[in-house]
Structure 1
Amino acid sequence: MTAEPDDARRYFAAIRAALGGLEIFMRDDRSPLYKHGIVAGIVAEYIARLEKSFACWNNRLGFMESFRIGRAESGFPVFQNVLELENDRRSASQRLATITKPEELRAEMADFILRHKAFPQALQRSMAERLYLEDVEGGETFAPFLLAKTVKVSVNPKTGRPYYLVHWASFDGSANLPLIYMATVEDSSPDMIAQLVVANGRLNEKVEIPLPVEGLLNPKLAHRFDDFTEKHSAYTLSPVTIATNLDKDFPELHPKQLRRVVLGPFYSAGITEHNSTVTEVLSKVSRPENAWLLTWTIQEVYSKAEKPGRRGLWSSEPASEEFFINTDDLEAARQGVSHYEKHALVPHEAYQALYAAGEADRIFAGYKVHILSKGRVISDV
């Protein structure tokens, strides 16, 4: 649905507060993700990209009449906005060349006001478009798909193989949700073992690796890996499906763990409509900037064992992973994961309203709740 200008401004204020609170949570030493500092750092990197995207979309309201969000589903912008932002980034320099420079626009606006005793709306729109394009051109936004990066390299002493921590992200076009992926992958390619592993089974310190490395560290597989991740980043694919397909498609790669962070849904009073109870209670929060609720899910699948490869006279099979799915937990089995966590971040005032309405226990059932209060995040409430 389309958000009108006033709604859009309230929405942007709420999502800005929510993403800012999530970033505080990620950097808090009491956060469960902080124990895995590199994981928190990866998520924070993509949050920063989202914040940049929302800042650009907010600026775009200066010359565009409306903004579409998934009111009844995710609470995030619809995919078309993400595509348009990426297209604008690519064409920004050409479009900027056709728009009058800022100082000239300001002079024309001042002259228009003096001559006509009226506000120069057309010139104001040109100025807004110029500022938007400058921001888009110079910033790292959350694109429809963000290519993988290798951020850690080590060696598994048991197998003698190097392993990589790789991350990438996508904005799912059907669910309108930002998705962040992290994978720990061993590499049994003989040339990579020869380069990266020394005789004592440790990482060869003589090889300089300027982390982060764009793409998979193995150059022979990097392009194929990019193609794979782009085609296998949909929300409809379960983590175990993605990990299993990665294992099958790359005999040299052995995925030991795949983690997916699903950001959303996001709830904002008077804007989103995907939970009538939440909407009704949040509408009673006195300050609109505190009338929101952000949820996210962390999904993880890991290998419990590796089935050795087999070489025969007539046929052979590569090594394959046996992924653990927690069938004792029906929700874990449904999601196709070994483990999952559901989190909710809510301003203190909104939590008080939900609690006072007697809805907190029902709404937050199964969630780890984090309350944003005075620039700090309080967990385990």
Structure 2
Amino acid sequence: MNAANDAAARYFEAIAAALEGLGVYFGDRTASPFQNHGVVAEVVAPYIGRLERSFACWQNRLGFMDKFRIQRAESGYPVFQSVLELENDRRQAEQRLAGISAPDELRAEMVDFILRHREFPADLQRSMAERLYLEEVKEGKIFSPFILPETVRVSVNPKTRRPYYLVHWGAFDGSSSLPMVYMAAVEDSSPKMLGTLVAADGKLNEKIEIGLPVGGLLNPELAHRFDEFAEKNSAYSLSPATIAGNLDKDFDTLHPKQLRRVVLGPFYTAGITENNSAVSEVLSKVRRRDNAWLLTWTVQEVYSKAERPARKGLWSSEPARDEFHIDTDDLDAARMGVSAYEQHALVPHEAYQALYAAGEAQKIFEGYDVHVISGGRVITDV
């Protein structure tokens, strides 16, 4: 195995272990005593599955493509071009598979080639690898550049008597090369939805059968516009407060009460990424390479502190608008444009021991909730 192939193998080994650990962490959040985090975990978990499938596809793609690039100095994730190529391959998979022989035919051709030429059939092997890759990318739900919104909860706010939706969507940011999950809690004052979803007693109309999850916003008249809004307003460079404010301005009858953004990264691994020299130096001393990694993520939240009532006048009118709370007492929260935020770090036990022994743990993990994975379990508050 040459140096490039060895580096790729180490990278895929490390990111697979990190995403598996992240899945364990979020799986644990759905159980007691983490009920408050259950909805977040329920939403985020499928996106972790999408990332795992994307990385499995990228690894298989190396069987017939020589190059695979990651953003070594910042996110530690694949460059955005790799995400675009994966999405393009997903869309063209059916057409390309039609031009490649079936697996049984390829195997027979490989055996025949070996018997006749007494050498390895490299071209046929690449065709087989491409076929297996296309079959997987066609079937799997990958982490696309943009993942359409989905409504997973609906209720009624007893104070306003408006329907209340929980909608989520995903985006892989092109500039930062970071995967992100968005969650929005939105009230709907559309007359049609008020009349349909809200019963006379101000509760959710039990006569209306809603098969959740629903693709898109639950309000069908606004669903397409909401998809377009989410796609245009999911850049990492936009603060959660800006996104929530844009949503409030663009939809007179939608009232965002809370917006969460979960940024799944950066990712650090020894000898591959260069995004933190102190981390890289210590991780390089970890004995098992599948334990020589560190994955961080950030949960950002902005919420409405008040709603300015709608004004109807003879000459002009103004819809209800929300006022969002920004924690100006916290410089980082103010910089992020959020009401609150959490920073988390997941690290294998062996790597944490190495960082602790080197005297780097306190400095590196300052401000982070640290989660150590050991034996398939995640230990928090170490």
TM-score range (shorter-chain normalised) is over 0.9
Q: Which runs of 5+ in 1 are unaligned?
A: none
Match of 1:6 in 2: 6
8 Å contact kept, 1:27–1:34: no
> Does residue 28 in structure 1 map to residue 44 in structure 2?
no
Match of 1:200 in 2: 201
Amino acid at match of 2:60: N
Q: Counterparts of 1:43 and 1:32 in 2: how far apart (Å)?
A: 18
1:292-326, CA deviations, whole angstroms, 9 ceiling, x for partnerless residues? 00000000000011111111111111111011111
Show the 5 A alignment for 1:246-325: 246-325=247-326
Q: Counterparts of 1:311 and 1:361 in 2: how far apart (Å)?
A: 56
Q: Counterparts of 2:5 and 2:211 in 1: how far apart (Å)?
A: 45
Q: Counterparts of 1:370 and 1:322 in 2: how far apart (Å)?
A: 35
Match of 2:44 in 1: 43
8 Å contact kept, 1:150–1:211: yes
Amino acid at match of 1:149: E
8 Å contact kept, 1:86–1:143: yes
Q: Counterparts of 1:113 and 1:373 in 2: how far apart (Å)?
A: 45
Match of 1:71 in 2: 72
Match of 1:351 in 2: 352
Q: Counterparts of 1:369 and 1:31 in 2: how far apart (Å)?
A: 19
Match of 1:244 in 2: 245
Q: Counterparts of 1:14 and 1:273 in 2: how far apart (Å)?
A: 15
Match of 2:190 in 1: 189
Q: Counterparts of 2:36 and 2:167 in 1: how far apart (Å)?
A: 18
Amino acid at match of 2:332: E
1:80-114, CA deviations, whole angstroms, 9 ceiling, x for partnerless residues? 01100010001001100110110011111111122
Match of 2:376 in 1: 375
Shift, 1:37, TM fit = 1.8
Amino acid at match of 2:83: V
SS at match of 1:45: helix
Q: Counterparts of 2:4 and 2:174 in 1: how far apart (Å)?
A: 22
Shift, 1:33, TM fit = 5.9
Amino acid at match of 1:220: E
Q: Counterparts of 1:278 and 1:35 in 2: how far apart (Å)?
A: 32
Identity %: 73
Q: Which runs of 5+ in 2 are unaligned?
A: none
Q: CA RMSD in A?
A: 1.1
Shift, 1:66, TM fit = 1.8
Q: Counterparts of 1:55 and 1:329 in 2: how far apart (Å)?
A: 40
Q: Counterparts of 1:153 and 1:211 in 2: how far apart (Å)?
A: 9
SS at match of 1:220: helix
Shift, 1:31, TM fit = 8.3
Shift, 1:4, TM fit = 2.6
SS at match of 1:333: helix
Q: Counterparts of 2:123 and 2:33 in 1: how far apart (Å)?
A: 50
Amino acid at match of 1:311: K
Q: Counterparts of 1:211 and 1:310 in 2: how far apart (Å)?
A: 35
Q: Counterparts of 2:94 and 2:36 in 1: how far apart (Å)?
A: 42
Q: Counterparts of 2:308 and 2:150 in 1: how far apart (Å)?
A: 28
State the number of aligned residues.
379
Amino acid at match of 2:259: L
8 Å contact kept, 1:4–1:66: no
1:2-53, CA deviations, whole angstroms, 9 ceiling, x for partnerless residues? x932211110110000000000000115688653322201100100000000
SS at match of 1:264: coil
TM-score (norm 1): 0.98
Amino acid at match of 1:24: V
> Does residue 16 in structure 1 map to residue 16 in structure 2?
yes
Distance 1:380 1:136, change over 3 A: same
Distance 1:34 1:176, change over 3 A: farther
SS at match of 2:135: helix
Q: 41-50 or 104-113, which moves further after superposition?
A: 104-113
SS at match of 2:66: coil
Match of 1:161 in 2: 162
Q: Counterparts of 1:36 and 1:294 in 2: how far apart (Å)?
A: 19
SS at match of 2:220: coil
SS at match of 1:301: strand
Shift, 1:72, TM fit = 0.2
